[in-house]
Structure 1
Amino acid sequence: IALGKTQGDDTHNWVIPYALNKGSDIKLNDSNETYRVDVYDGMDNQAMFWQMPTIQAFHSIVPGSVMEFYPTIGVQRDVASRPDTKYYGLRALTSCKWLFDPVNEGKDFTGSDGKTEMPGWSFYAVQNGCNVYRNNYYIPMGFSYDYYITRSEYESAAEDDRNLLLLKAIVLDDSSAAKYKGIL
């Protein structure tokens, strides 16, 4: 696992005290749940060092389905996934429950007006050198849909809105939509 981008002073101020400690100072109240985390403006693969599944990753082996999916919602995906905060629905869709914002590194997740960069996030605690936020729109892994839209309807929707659309409906090709229309 590599951390990717870093600054010259990161080693003693961040990497040694907080990044390499396996998240031993992180205490969340949901140890029995399966979820993902996000590290806001942090180093690549940071959460992996903490033994936590993450939506921010840099790795060279990416399944084809992932490479096909991200561009449909307007997110660039190559060997790295770093979705912009404007795609806040993607966090709920990928079961991202927690966001870690390094206190003394990078940009701040909360602006000077007190608002977070994405709607639906609440401050939880300061842990492991990070402000920790909880996603109020978190959807647990294994959710199911009550609605569907066809592939053509999906493709006609504005690209930047598709991440939100996927929170409500699954996308089916026309033949599958005809087959399952009585179920969804």
Structure 2
Amino acid sequence: MTAWAVCGTLRLKYGDTLVVNAGGSAIGRVFAQLAAVFNYELIAVTRSEAHTEELLRLGAAHVIVTAGTPLREAVLSKTGGRGATAAVDSIGGADGAALAGCVRPGGTVFSIGLLSGVPADWAALSRLYRMDARPFWLRHWIRHASSADWFGAFEEIMELVRDGRLSLMKIAAGYGLDEVHAAVAAFESGRAGKILLTDGRG
């Protein structure tokens, strides 16, 4: 739902380029698939080659692996020197700052996460790159959306899932609440898929 709301708020359309970091994450995969729905071009940024093939299959136009690659130069080369129309940052810190440098003047960066635990200085980055950078939280979008907008968006997403045009990451494992330490260890091991905490009732 967050990815859908971001795309709608940015009014992404044909000719637009969206660049997202943490491309191998669950929401990164959703942005790749929504590229066909909203008709934009997606550049997914990852830290390793592990997700490249899947992201291209899901709908990303390009995958940039940041290991040893200057991100700004790579994005400029993929966009004919123009830079991206917009960007979505899930990491913050130095990664968020690098992503901001990939957006053309007048573009937009939405911050939706803080995986690094370090906030980027969005005000300074907005001035430096002459673009709009700000946080995006789904709860704020919901607060300002009408009931018709909310249910309409949910129905459209569910229809995409039913039609097979949108798939979510597989659940790798489920753990009871009393197994939270094992769940965290499984997550940190880097296994593919979601780790769920359950109440033990199924």
TM, length-normalised to structure 1? 0.34
Bigger relative contact order, structure 1 or 2, given CA contacts below 8 A and separation 6+?
A: 1
Structure having the larger proportion of residues in helix: 2
Q: TM-score, normalised by structure 2?
A: 0.32
